[in-house]
Amino acid sequence: MPTEPAPVPAADIAEVRAFNRFFTRRVGVLRPGLLDSPYSLTEVRILYELAHRDSTEAVDLRRTLDMDAGQLSRVLTRMENAGLLTRAASPDDGRRQVIAPTGDGTAAARILDDRSTAQVRELIGHLSPAGRERLIAALRTVRGLLAGPGEEPADSGPVLRPLAPGDLGWVVERNGALYAAEHGFDTTYEALVAEIAAGYGRAHDHAREDAWIAEAGGERAGAVFCVREDDSTARLRLLHVEPWARGRGIGGRLVDHCVSYARSRGYTRMVLWTVSVLSSARRIYTGAGFTLVSEDRSPRFGRDLVGQTWELDLRPASPGRAAPLTGG
């Protein structure tokens, strides 16, 4: 049965509502005419959508704006009477309406776009470049956290990149915070991650070791490290995916990339260590072909945990040697 969502504290609700009041006042959404124009917020949004496509069907516009059909029809009628758009039956299906901007509508959209750009420039112009980076990162985080199932910005497909300055500290902080919040790990886990990250940063083998950050929508969404165990064995370490980015295949992509890198560097075996409570990670490892080779129970990170060692044969399959089985 599906689990009931956790109750949201009143204080959290109050903070979101306070931000809504602050932002709507700051950008002037509640003024009679948006951007010093005679148009409402809804009309400005419609003009924006129409300006970025040659034409659209009413049903697609309604879906994009998440509007009630009756409300949208009334607004479109008002805008058509004002000479901003035209409506006509679709040549493919007479029951569907095709909407297109008029010349006046396109001109109005261009003016509004220029005013919106100027407004944002004034809004953030006092910030330093570092301040703007912090703001943009925070906005991307909000979009990611509040996106509905399967919904994400068009530019937020995950990409993998090498480590950059500041990433090692981020890996340590996010591992410590996430595993404490989700699994009750104490600070000894964060200390372990810090030791691993520091050792990698000081003296990793550039020819046979590497690490990657996954980004979605320009925001850091996860990480993984490939380090040398011995001449023939690579070790996968510090895999994590941010909660808001899960369910997009990012963990699998990180592991696959790590495995491919290890194979390309001549390793014949890859190992990793994890704990049994990390069920999502285990599914990723199994899907990549890793097999469980040993377990042990002992107190770790403030909990009594079952440690697990997993192994993957990196050698190409041959007629005399069967490829490892993967679990479902």
What residue has token string 């969502």? 5
Tokens (6 digits) for 166? 């500041």
Residue written as token pair 């901003």: 84
3-state SS, residue 243: helix
- Domains of the chain (ranges; CATH) run 10-126 (1.10.10.10), 159-313 (3.40.630.30)
Residue 126: Cβ-neighbour burial (10 angstroms; 0-12, 13-18, 19+): exposed
Q: Is 8 exposed, middle or buried (0-12, 13-18, 19+ CB in 10 A)?
A: exposed
| Amino acid type, 281 | A
Name the token pair of 207: 């020819």
pLDDT of residue 322: 43
* 282 secondary structure, DSSP code: H
Angle at 221 between CA 131 and CA 299, to 5 degrees: 115
Separation of alpha carbons 103 and 285, rounded Å: 57
Would you tell me how many other CB atoms lie within 10 Å of the CB of residue 182?
11
Q: Residue 307: CA atoms inside 13 Å, Cβ hemisphere, count?
A: 10
Alpha helices in the chain (DSSP H): 10-26, 41-51, 58-65, 69-81, 103-124, 129-146, 167-183, 187-203, 250-264, 279-287
For residue 157, count CB atoms less than 10 angstroms from its CB and return exposed for 0-12, middle for 13-18, buried for 19 or more.
Answer: exposed
Q: How far apart are CA 99 and CA 85, in angstroms?
A: 7
**159 has which bridge partners?**
215
Tokens of 148: 């509905």
Give the pLDDT score at 328: 29
pTM (two decimals): 0.55
DSSP codes of every residue in 111-180: HHHHHHHHHHHHHHTTS-HHHHHHHHHHHHHHHHHHPPTT---TT---EEEE--TTHHHHHHHHHHHHHH
Mean pLDDT by 10 residues, the chain (328 residues): 72 88 82 80 87 77 85 91 89 82 89 87 83 76 71 62 94 95 94 97 94 88 96 96 87 93 95 92 91 94 94 76 38
Q: What is the pLDDT of residue 151?
A: 60
Residues 6 or more apart whose Cβ sits within 8 Å of residue 82: none
Nearest to 229 by CA among 294, 168, 306, 312: 312
